[in-house]
Chain A
Amino acid sequence: MKVTLFVPCFVDAMFPDAAMGAATVLERLGHEVLFPEGQTCCGQPPFNTGMWDESRAVARRQLGIFADAETIVSISGSCGAMMKAFYPELFRGEHDEETARSVASKTHEFSDFLVNVLGVTDVGAVFSGRATFHDGCHGLRELGIKKAPRALLANVRGLELVESPEAETCCGFGGMFSVKFPMISTAMGEVKCDSIVATGADFVISNDSSCLMQIGGMLERQGRPRRCLHLAEVLAPTE
């Protein structure tokens, strides 16, 4: 297949290994990976702030870039959810509503794509260590992603996955929420970090790098750093 990568702005800027890992895995599985350079942002930040006109201005550009893709894979649960779950809403009644619906239907979050579209759960990955998984809320509740990442991680040779009882609890990032209501975001992050440390895991894995930004940043500041990795970074290595 021709797989068009959607690499959200913050992944591009701060967590490029996550996107590179995803590209590596997809190519290993025999697919052609395309990355249209013109892409920047899905429009989620203004959308979540209620500024839907501004969101549409950015998202419209995104539609133009991805309209002709065969299939779109997002390296982020929350931006993937923006495109898949919210674009139809954002463009309802607009002249390009059809394009928005079409792009939405072609978009998949990375783990969802591997497991539910390609039907693959073993990508030949090797990664040793003890890790716990954090379910990014948008992926979990807007896109229904729960089993797919775990199915993939179960086949990573050398990896021990420990479940946290708070795996589904929001880490407190929430985009602009993290800086608009920092005290609440911090408290939520503390609860999350405590639960992660309690699992005894050395690594934190998630399908959303924005969550890892929150979790990793907090653990570091608390003096109990843990390596935070996007799922793709764990699936990419083969030795």
Chain B
Amino acid sequence: MKSSDTKPAGGFRAMARRMTADLVHRALIQKGLSGYYSKRDENKARYQSWEGARELAAQIKYDAVNHLDKMLVEFADKIAIRGTQVHWCPDGASAREAILGIARANGVKSIIKSKTMTSEEIHLNEALEADGYGVFESDLGEYIVQLRKEPPYHLVFPAMHLTRGQISDLFHEELGSEPTDSPEELTMIARRVMRRKFCGADMGISGANFAVADTGMISITENEGNARLTTALPRIHVAILGIEKVVPRLEDLALFLPMLATAGAGQALTCYNTLFAGPRQPGEADGPEQFHVVLLDNRRTELLADPEQRDALHCIRCGACLNVCPIFKNVGGHSYGTTYQGPIGSVITPHLRGLQDWKHLSAASSLCGACTETCPVKIDIHHHLLQNRRNAAKEKPVWWERAAFAGFVVLMKSPRLYELGLKLGRIGQVFHPLIDRSPLDPLRAWTGSRAFPKLARRSFREEWRKRKR
């Protein structure tokens, strides 16, 4: 099993092994999420119908994604009217180049960022830093993991895996601040650091949660205010977003903004939801002189080309599926080893980064379906995991799996062979205690942590035959 693992698969296994045994991590994540569950349910209950809202959201996203070319053209043309420059980037390299180009052309020295997973996806920070730019993450969670030099743990809550003690130690080491176990004081430390950066940065880079086609706007959802500051003070604002983020009408946000908040953070609405329609307009007191929107494909069109899984592009990146996934809660966000974690990440990563290298993410699931049940836009997440498995097996069958299931088919197509197998099994299980859990035990993947059930003295069919005689 292990020898056929690709490097990402091996990394996943190793980290999953470590994290699933880490009971401190398990308890911390459970505790953090329990508040989310109760607030989420409270806010869902206020809806006249959460299920009705999901259906409408699914419908709107279906319409948008299945008319994506029209939507993007309308969006780009309309946002350009007010002076925005739109960059269409087919891949990560062209997006990095576009943004580096903007920085170079404008004598940028320091860059401040609000949270954008899309920039993680294309490794933008590394490219900017390699070119000599100082890049500062302003979102508290992103700032913390940036200081720790590790990737974000969760789509929406990047530092969820850390205790306040760890964050205090981090700030003490990196910033020289006094140790404290108060989340409020820790937040204030970061706030003070960040205010200087907001005022001093030449360029602000943000993501976008939605792009509105019929008015030519992007919208950014946040709680901290760092995205508003990132886009208010620097003289250049660059927003990077995946092409799938577009919604048809401004009024659609009346549905999506609350649903994103509730599914993602358990809130009725997040603190700040800001629409951006262009750079500083005539008569305005402040705002960037230049506004650039970078539209990123980076293999999303490959997912689009798969009609079975196209709805994975409906994703509004709320993170709700992560929050309910028992795999995510036990292996943690870093085990995935890639930008998009959890159930939706396990669906799209094989498409965005290669099926054979990343199919293990789709395999590492019990297919419980909690993700599909919770998704606010009704993506058929767990069935897509199954489809990825099928596609991977079809493209490149794993030889021993093929052999094993060929045997399985022979066995199951013959009731006589099956009953013979049972009889042999009953004999075998007499001897099993001798090798139970040892390296010789063929069942040790199970018996390592669980007792294996006994084969019954008489199978049901034997009992039934007896009874009917």
Residue positions of A touching B, CB distance < 8 A = 7, 9, 11-17, 19-20, 23, 35, 37-41, 43, 45-52, 54, 57-58, 61, 137-138, 140-142, 168-170, 172-175, 177-189, 191, 213-214, 216-218, 220-221
Contacts and interface: CB of A to CB of B under 8 A. Distances in A.
B364 A184 contact: yes
Nearest to A179: B445
Contacts, number: 186
Given A14-B453, A49-B389, A141-B369, A182 B408 contact: no
B146 to A, nearest CB: 29
Contact of B464 (A35, A45, A172): A35
Given A50-B389, A170-B326, A184 B20 contact: yes
Contacts of B445: 178-180, 182
A183 B448 CA distance: 9
B409 A13 contact: no
Contact of B413 (A15, A35, A40, A141): A40
Interface residues of B, number: 64
Interface string B1-45: 100000000000100110011000010001000000000000000
Contacts of B349: none
Given A54-B405, A58-B413, A137-B366, A15 B456 contact: yes
Interface of B: 1, 13, 16-17, 20-21, 26, 30, 326-327, 329-331, 363-370, 372-373, 386, 388-394, 397, 401-402, 405-406, 408-409, 411-415, 418, 422, 425, 445-446, 448-456, 458-461, 463-465
A39 B418 CA distance: 10
Contact of A183 (B20, B363, B408, B455): B20
B331 A46 contact: no
Considering the complex of A and B, which 9 residue pairs feature the smallest CB-CB distances, nearest first? A174-B366, A50-B389, A217-B450, A141-B369, A170-B368, A50-B393, A16-B460, A187-B20, A137-B368
A43 B413 CA distance: 10
- Chain B interface main SS type: helix
A54 B21 contact: no
Given A14-B453, A50-B386, A179-B446, A191 B461 contact: no
Contacts of B386: 47-48, 50
B373 A141 contact: yes
A170 B446 contact: no
A81 B30 CA distance: 30
A61 B413 contact: yes
Contact of A180 (B1, B30, B330): B1
A12 B1 CA distance: 29
Contact of B422 (A13, A37, A177, A214): A13
B354 to A, nearest CB: 16
12 contacts: A14-B456, A37-B461, A40-B411, A50-B394, A51-B397, A170-B370, A177-B363, A180-B363, A188-B327, A217-B446, A218-B449, A218-B451
A48 B446 contact: no
B366 A141 contact: no
A175 B445 CA distance: 13
Q: Which of B392, B394, B460 has the most CB of A within 10 A?
A: B460
A40 B412 contact: yes
Given A51-B402, A217-B446, A217-B451, A186 B20 contact: yes
Contact of B455 (A14, A35, A168, A221): A14
B405 A218 contact: no
A37 B21 CA distance: 44
Contact of B450 (A49, A137, A186): A186
Contact of A48 (B30, B368, B389, B411): B389
B376 to A, nearest CB: 17
A49 B393 contact: yes
B412 A61 contact: yes
B111 to A, nearest CB: 39
Nearest to A140: B369
Given A35-B464, A37-B415, A183-B17, A188 B449 contact: no
